[in-house]
C-alpha cells in the first residue's frame, strides 16, 4: 500500500497527469508486486515561481515521494526507481535528469487504518 505524492509545475493537461499517475503505478506494480487496484496517489500542482529547484531543472521537473511499508529490498527499490523513471521519460518525454524519487519507510506502528494501528509482523 504505497502512498504516492507527485509534485509538478502547474499547467499540465489532464491526459499528462493521468499518464504520470499510470507510469508511477505501473512501476510499483512491476517492482513491488502491489495489486493493480492498490492506488493511493495524488498530484500536487505548484505555481512555477513557488516550486524552487536548481536552474538546470525544467518545468518538467517531477518530484515523487513514496511512503511504503518497511521491508522492501534495495534491489526492489532500485527496480522501482528505474521503472518509474523510464516510464515517465518514455511516455511523457521528461528527461530522467528532471525526475527525483524519494522513499519513506515509517515503521508499521506509525501507520493507522480505520482508527487502528498497524502492528508489526
pLDDT digits (tens, 9 = 90+) for 28-80: 999 999 989 999 999 999 999 999 999 999 999 999 999 999 999 999 999 99
- 7 by Cβ neighbours in 10 Å (0-12 / 13-18 / 19+) ranks as middle
All cell numbers assigned to 110:
506509525
| DSSP β-ladder status, 112-113 and 116-117 | antiparallel
Residues 88-96: what's their mean pLDDT? 97
Alpha-helical regions (H) of 33-107: 74-92
pLDDT classification of 121: cutoffs 50, 70, 90: low
CA 64 – CA 84 distance, rounded (Å):
10
* Structural domains of the chain sorted by starting position, each given as residue range(s) with its CATH number in brackets: 3-117 (3.30.429.10)
Residues 14-35: what's their mean pLDDT? 96
Region of residue 110 (phi > 0: left; psi between -120 and 50: alpha; otherwise: beta): alpha
Amino acid at each position: 500500500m504505497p502512498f504516492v505524492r507527485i509534485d509538478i509545475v502547474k499547467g499540465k493537461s489532464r491526459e499528462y497527469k493521468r499518464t504520470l499517475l499510470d507510469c508511477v503505478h505501473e512501476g510499483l506494480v512491476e517492482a513491488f508486486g502491489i495489486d493493480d487496484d492498490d492506488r493511493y496517489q495524488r498530484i500536487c500542482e505548484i505555481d512555477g515561481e513557488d516550486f524552487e529547484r536548481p536552474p538546470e531543472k525544467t518545468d518538467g521537473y517531477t518530484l515523487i515521494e513514496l511512503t511504503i511499508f518497511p521491508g522492501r529490498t534495495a534491489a526492489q527499490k532500485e527496480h522501482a526507481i528505474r521503472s518509474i523513471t523510464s516510464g515517465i521519460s518514455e511516455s511523457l518525454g521528461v528527461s530522467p535528469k528532471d525526475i527525483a524519487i524519494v522513499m519513506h519507510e515509517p515503521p508499521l506502528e506509525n501507520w493507522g487504518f480505520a482508527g487502528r494501528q498497524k502492528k508489526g509482523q
